[in-house]
Amino acid sequence: MSEDPTPINEVVWDIHSTHPELVQPLRDKFSEVMDPEIGLNIVQLGLIRKVSIKEGKADIFMILTTPFCPYGPAMLETTRQKALEALNMDVNIELGMEPWDFSLMEDPGAIDWGMYT
């Protein structure tokens, strides 16, 4: 795992410019949502691609590591619940079908595949 806690490839959401005070609380809550097969959270994996707030409602665009992820429905619902906790407003989650790959991760070196010692 990387020594520097600063993300290498942090995803910048719309709320970074419109509601910057909500970014860290939302990231903190999203960090509680783990991908059980990979063992990293949805922020580390870069699965939250867009967050915008309009007229008191949050719209979140999320992808999964694989379109047929068996944990997908549970991860989407947990993500929605965590966003509700952080933002205290209505939340809509849209599941995107764009393919995920390691380049979308905040720190692509965060996964220790155990291949090298």
- Provide CATH code, domain 15-106: 3.30.300.130
Asked if the model's pLDDT at residue 116 lies above 60, the reply is no
Q: What angle do CA 99, 102, 104 make, to 5 degrees?
A: 70
Tokens of 93: 């989650």
Query: Is residue 105 a contact partner of residue 39, using CB atoms and an 8 Å limit?
Result: no
Q: Is the pTM of this model over 0.85?
A: yes
pLDDT exceeding 90 applies to what percent of the chain?
Answer: 74
Nearest to 15 by CA among 61, 64, 76: 61
Collapsed DSSP state (helix, strand, coil) of residue 43: coil
pLDDT exceeding 70 applies to what percent of the chain?
Answer: 87
Q: Where are the domains of the chain?
A: 15-106
Query: Is residue 53 a contact partner of residue 18, using CB atoms and an 8 Å limit?
Result: yes
